[in-house]
A and B are shown apart, each in its own frame.
Chain A
Amino acid sequence: MSLGLIPNPFMTSESRRESMAEQSAVELQHEVIPRLQEIQEKFGYIPQEAVEWLSSQLKVSSQEIYGVATFYNHFRFNPPGKHEIRVCLGTACHVGGGEKILDTLSERLGIQPGETTADERYSLERVACVGACALAPAVLLDDEVHGRMTQRSLKRLLDKVDRADKKAAKGSDE
């Protein structure tokens, strides 16, 4: 199985990469996080098979890899929904009412942060800070930042996505 990992010229020096297979496990440990990032980039989450594959490639035990992966917030172990909503809960967003935005989303979608809706259309996440503090509170919909969120603009945003999805579904039925 090949995951088609893209070599990053800045991540490791060429010489180190070439001799990767011959190196001992200790020396390959530093590859764990960048490789996990590539896997998540490709699949949207970390599938179990990928961990086992990575373990055999890097000669690092899959327990160790899981230990590292679960430590970092970035990695997820279940597939994300079609639309990823991330509510920024940085300080400026918190003071600006981000928590209420999250409550509303959670209520409307019927899921808690970290979960995906049963129809796999939405997943909801909280994020510490995306740096759009000047436009607090901010919501990220599929990586696009929507700033100065209000309950009204939030509703409008979700309604728009729902409409677009419905239209697309209808189009594919015909």
Chain B
Amino acid sequence: MTESEKIEVLVCLGTGCESAKSDLLYDKLAEQVKKKKLGDKVEITRIGCHGLCQQAPVIAIEPEGLFYCQVGDDDIAEIVTSHFIKGEPVERLYYESPEGERIPHYKDIPFYSKQHRVVLKNSGHIDPGSIDDYLAVGGYKGLERALKEMSPEEVVDEVLNSGLRGRGGAGFPAGLKWKLGRNAPGHKKYAICNADEGDPGAFMDGSILVADPHSVLEGLSICAYAIGADEAYVYVRHEYPAAVASLKKALKDSYEREFWGESILGSKFSLQIHLMEGAGAFVCGEETALMASIEGRRGMPRPRPPFPTESGLWGKPTVINNVKSLANASVILREGWEWFKSIGTEGSPGTAIFSLTGKVRNTGLVEVPMGATLRNIIFDVGGGVKEDRTFKAVQTGGPAGGCLPAEKLDLPVDFDSLREAGAIMGSGGMIVMDETTCMVDVARYFLSFTQQESCGKCTPCRMGTLQMLRILDKIREGRGEDGDIEKLLELCDTVVNGSLCGLGQNAPNPVLTTIEYFRDEYEAHVKDNTCPAMVCKELVKFVIDPEKCTACGACKRICPTGAAQGKKDVIHHIQQDLCIKCGACYEVCPPKADAVMKIPAHSELAREIGGAK
């Protein structure tokens, strides 16, 4: 049997698949393969995020490019006997399109075929734990080219010419940052990789670190060479144990192969890389706070200027780049700036990476050229809204971003157009919302997040967000008054203008955009005491329709507070003063009975049913 005929089984161990217990699948596969003595025919590899998390756990079979979705424990035996031994793939595990068609190859699934993968090219295709796999796909060629063929200035120019903009969110030209770092006086300089991905709803950076850690380390070494740093830090979020482990392994392997350390690849350039785990402070994603954290202090931002390129870590010139920026830099050095510039738009070359989540059919990791529209991403790649509900809004940019309505779906996605619309590109979270999402609740959610994470240094941020939160709570609980919305807008203005760092300056964005695009929902809460999406707890009530109740007892069994009451053959009811509105009864009520109803708390019906015990 020749090498090329070997079946390569790639088991995804990205966050999504790992949560779906894909590590057990791997063990089971290995066991079966061993048992059936298929060791020389089948090779099993662990991979990082393949992309289509919705179908987790997924398994890809190469070189054919077959794709098995939602693989269960009990499917393994069939895959082994039917596919590996008899050569008949298990068709029932293929991806099923919304039209009911089975698609065998992942490259034919719209989720993949509509993407353009540059940074994610290796994710899900190589073994992240093997540096040889990375080298086999051209890895460290960029670093080699930089060190052997180019001066540091030429490397800076290469990145400058590529037009790469920082992928951390703000979109500052990366080449310019490097140039400033290069030109800053002083012998001691630092390069930092910001892998403190704290945005809730974003998992791209963590996924890249798990799936393709060397691409980031290569970028970091290139950056350090370009600016003249001999020390570098990777500041990684502690909540990502898989990313930490992946980085540790990659650091060890790349050190052994002399991709960092003394005299890299025989050149005069030496670099020491340190790994630092964050300790759970969102604000440390801000560059000056991150540096304070590396220095072992409270992670509080400081005013800029001086910018880190002038005075950063321990007062030395420092260049900080996001994970994706560095991964892009590796590709640029390998493929050349002209190639990179040919992708995307004039103002924002390259690709945009999003973690597409929320009420969308295909959740997962998505990479599209800059300039693709929101519609392309959500409907073509994402397959549209789940359960055929109506699209209501999309949120980009995490707690600092904004919510955009259906009218903005044809907006091209790049740094500038998103900002113009009130949202931001951010680090890459994209959350789709449907009619069951309440925009007041969403705004409150993001604000409560920034409020908790505010470091407390600037009063407008510390106290302003708290006041805004109180008003939003009032509105959410049906105690809103005329003028509350105006008061919110006024506070937004104060917080934006009175805060030092990006956290405070952008904290009001979710509130501002939801008021701008969904003001009617705010007004429904304030004026009519109703939550149109039926989300806000104080404004809904769970009741049991006595006509429909079959006294099955499902609601009574699940109710955590004993509010759902009843006996065998006696119609159940919900004792309202005990109800915490968790919705458990609503969830478990059998569809054929459909007796538990969620109704507006202040409706006629609620008064009627609420009155009668």
Contact = CB atoms under 8 A, between A and B. Distances in A.
Contacts of A143: 241
A44 interface: no
A107 B560 contact: yes
A94 B583 contact: no
B272 A129 contact: no
A82 B255 CA distance: 39
Interface in B213-248: 238-241, 248
Interface stretch (B351-359, B367-375, B478-486, B600-608): B351-359
B277 A12 contact: no
A29 B298 CA distance: 11
Interface string A19-62: 00000000011111110110000000000000000000000100
B358 A92 contact: yes
Interface in B408-462: 429, 431, 433, 437, 442, 445-446, 449, 455
A140 to B, nearest CB: 9
Given A10-B251, A11-B274, A68-B298, A128 B282 contact: yes
B18 interface: yes
A12 B231 CA distance: 11
B276 A72 contact: no
Contacts of A29: 295-297
A32 B296 contact: yes
Interface stretch (A97-105, A114-122, A165-173): A97-105
A74 interface: yes
B76 interface: no
Dominant secondary structure at the B interface:
mixed
A129 B239 contact: yes
A10 B221 CA distance: 15
A75 B279 contact: yes
A111 interface: no
A34 B277 CA distance: 7
Contacts of B206: 131
Interface centre among B19, B207, B272, B587 (most CB of A within 10 A): B19
A10 B252 CA distance: 9
Contacts of A28: 296
Contact of B580 (A11, A33, A107): A107
Nearest to B204: A131
A152 B558 contact: yes
A138 interface: yes
Given A152-B587, A155-B558, A91 B582 contact: no
A11 B582 CA distance: 45
B584 A127 contact: no
Nearest to A134: B53
A16 to B, nearest CB: 10
A92 B357 contact: yes
A134 B200 contact: no
Nearest to B272: A13
Given A89-B200, A135-B56, A152-B558, A147 B19 contact: yes
A151 interface: yes
Given A72-B280, A104-B582, A147-B20, A133 B201 contact: yes
Interface of A: 8, 10-13, 28-34, 36-37, 60, 67-68, 71-75, 89-97, 100, 103-104, 107-108, 127-136, 138, 143, 145-147, 150-152, 155
Given A36-B279, A103-B580, 20 more contacts: A8-B275, A30-B294, A68-B297, A72-B299, A75-B279, A92-B357, A94-B445, A95-B431, A100-B582, A104-B584, A107-B561, A129-B203, A133-B355, A134-B16, A134-B363, A135-B20, A136-B358, A147-B20, A150-B587, A152-B588
Give the 3 A-B residue pairs with the shortest CB-CB distance, closest first: A134-B53, A91-B201, A90-B200
12 contacts: A11-B275, A13-B274, A30-B295, A33-B279, A34-B276, A34-B277, A73-B279, A91-B358, A91-B445, A134-B357, A151-B584, A151-B587
